[in-house]
Structure 1
Amino acid sequence: MKVLGVLLFSAFALVAALERPVPVKDMPAGNKINGRITNGYPAYEGKVPYIVALRFDNGNGGGWYCGGSIIGHEWVLTAAHCTYGASYVTISYGAVWRQQPQFTHYDTGNLHNDIALIRTPHVDFWSLVNKVELPRYDDRYNNFYGWWALLSGWGSSSDSSGMTDYLNCVDIQISDNSVCLDYYGSHYITSNHLCYATPENKGSCSGDSGGPLVLHDGNRQVGIVSFGSAAGCLSNSPKGLTRVTGYLDWIRDHTGISY
């Protein structure tokens, strides 16, 4: 089926700062680790029914993987840097094994506003394919510092193997934005970001871009995997996400979805 379109909030370009952040899909892996999402754990079937695997193609034989989340019957939320330069995307729904989805749909800067919407054919919801709720408007005043949340994705499982076939999860605690400000500088970090520290190198890595960060308390998606350090996934550097509460009006205006 044809995907009807992709909406980008903005393009982006990278310039020098205290430490250069890079899109998570382009992050180097660094040393050996036990699976990515880094140092996470396997997801059981149905644990993350809202996640989708996205395979983007640039039309010239090149391509890349990202994650995304179902937010409505006809809408997937992901990162803008995932869609940049893409000619089409294949969306895989309901997969724990990345290559075994329940079904698929197919369609022929700085990191500010790193958010995108993909409009899809209608998707029916059931136990393995379902939407995630977005934050409520009242949540715009919550910084979520100290809250625990779930990251999920199919990021690489080893330095040489590429993306893992099996969906992994990791529980992370949202940090004060000052952690990222001190590392990357105010040129990159704004109030529309979320940040988390990685003292145990737990978090997202290459292939996890665009994936959802969902609160343990309330199961609402508050973040979209966006960037990390050019030093690599295992550098103990903080990582950044797009703060969904900063774009609730934009999402509502394009999709009609709000809480």
Structure 2
Amino acid sequence: MKVLAVFFVVIAAAIATPVAQDAHKAVFVKDMPVRSNSITGRITNGYPAYEGKIPYIVFLLFGNGNGGAWLCGGSIIGNTWVMTAAHCTNGADSVTIHYGATWRNQPQYTHWVHHNDFVQHHEYDGVALNNDIALIRTPHVDFWSLVNKVELPRFDERDNCIDDHWAVLSGWGATSDSSGASDYLNCVDVQVASNHVCENYYGGGINGNHLCIATPENKGSCSGDSGGPLVLHDSNRQVGIVSFGSSAGCEANAPKGLTRVTAYLDWIRDNTGISY
């Protein structure tokens, strides 16, 4: 999650440069301001995950040649593939993938991957909210109780309405270990909302490539959870990738935006061979 980003977007040209003072500006989750020490950098108002509860999540540590580093979340979708947000991979030279971690600094093992093995969506422009999805080709990993894939929606489910369905978000969050963020994997149960909820708040630019969650009681993603998975309770399939939220911060009770996985099933299949 880069709310996992640093774990665990503009809706239109008019909001190409988010302004923190405007509660209705959309920003990538990794760039959301933190307003309270009580939720700094974590899944907001969630609960700790027990070991093996979320075997498909990975912690991603990105770096670039200028000494920059940032954290994100991602999900294992195949033995040699991880999926995350394009705003996580964008500008990175490499990533270290932490597998099977509950404590994020205590993974079962890690793999280092060069940016040549990043497959960023070809229509992601680094600014607008659309097409915020990327794939990372990885060394082969074997599946077991602590490291396993999450299934994607089937092609015959791509037009299913999932409004009001319950799902789980997960991530570690935090820009640094000294920022007060938990090092432990956290989860939160959220309900998928109609895209109109995000449209009404952000004022446009939301389309069928997006998924929206309302955040009553401030439950949801926060700075650092970017790229992390949203997985339905009833089918255990990943339907969303954490993408954007309000520049007003995590406690604004503003809806959060995700990349809708069903909108990219063809693209995922064409690049990975994975389909259901």
TM-score, normalising length: structure 1: 0.91
SS at match of 2:103: coil
- 2:163 aligns with 145
1:12-34 CA-partner distances (Å, limit 9, x unpaired)? 89743492211101111112335
Q: Mean alpha-carbon deviation: is it higher for 81-90 or for 135-144?
A: 135-144
Distance in 2 between residues matched to 1:135 and 1:250, nearest whole Å: 13
1:206-232 CA-partner distances (Å, limit 9, x unpaired)? 111000000000100000000000110
- Cα distance, 1:253 vs. partner? 0.4
Q: What percent identity do the matched residue pairs reach?
A: 71
Q: Which amino acid in 1 is paired with 2:14?
A: A
Give the 5 Å matches for 1:73-222.
73-108=79-114, 109-156=127-174, 161=179, 163-187=181-205, 189-222=206-239
Question: Do the aligned partners of 1:97 and 1:165 also contact (CA within 8 Å) in 2?
Answer: yes
Distance 1:123 1:160, change over 3 A: closer
- 1:247 aligns with 264
- 1:23 aligns with 28
Q: Which amino acid in 1 is paired with 2:50?
A: Y
Distance in 2 between residues matched to 1:246 and 1:127, nearest whole Å: 29
Q: Is 1:232 paired with 2:214?
A: no
Displaced runs of 4 or more, over 6 A: 157-160
Distance in 1 between residues matched to 2:191 and 2:158, nearest whole Å: 18
Distance in 1 between residues matched to 2:178 and 2:98, nearest whole Å: 24
Question: Do the aligned partners of 1:34 and 1:158 also contact (CA within 8 Å) in 2?
Answer: no
Question: Do the aligned partners of 1:71 and 1:77 also contact (CA within 8 Å) in 2?
Answer: yes
Question: Do the aligned partners of 2:113 and 2:138 also contact (CA within 8 Å) in 1?
Answer: no
1:178-228 CA-partner distances (Å, limit 9, x unpaired)? 0000011222x1111110111210001111100000000010000000000
- Cα distance, 1:156 vs. partner? 3.0
Distance 1:146 1:158, change over 3 A: farther
User: Could you say which structure has the higher helix fraction?
Assistant: 2
Distance 1:160 1:103, change over 3 A: closer
Distance in 1 between residues matched to 2:230 and 2:197, nearest whole Å: 18
Distance in 2 between residues matched to 1:159 and 1:128, nearest whole Å: 24
Q: Is 1:65 paired with 2:101?
A: no
Question: Do the aligned partners of 2:104 and 2:185 also contact (CA within 8 Å) in 1?
Answer: yes
Q: Mean alpha-carbon deviation: is it higher for 136-145 or for 166-175?
A: 136-145
Question: C-alpha root-mean-square deviation of aligned residues, in Å?
Answer: 2.1
Distance in 2 between residues matched to 1:199 and 1:157, nearest whole Å: 24
Question: Do the aligned partners of 1:30 and 1:234 also contact (CA within 8 Å) in 2?
Answer: yes
Distance in 2 between residues matched to 1:233 and 1:160, nearest whole Å: 19
- 2:38 aligns with 33
1:156-189 CA-partner distances (Å, limit 9, x unpaired)? 39996254210000000000110000011222x1
Distance in 2 between residues matched to 1:175 and 1:77, nearest whole Å: 23
Q: Mean alpha-carbon deviation: is it higher for 19-28 or for 40-49?
A: 19-28
How many residue pairs match? The answer is: 248
Q: Is 1:54 paired with 2:60?
A: yes
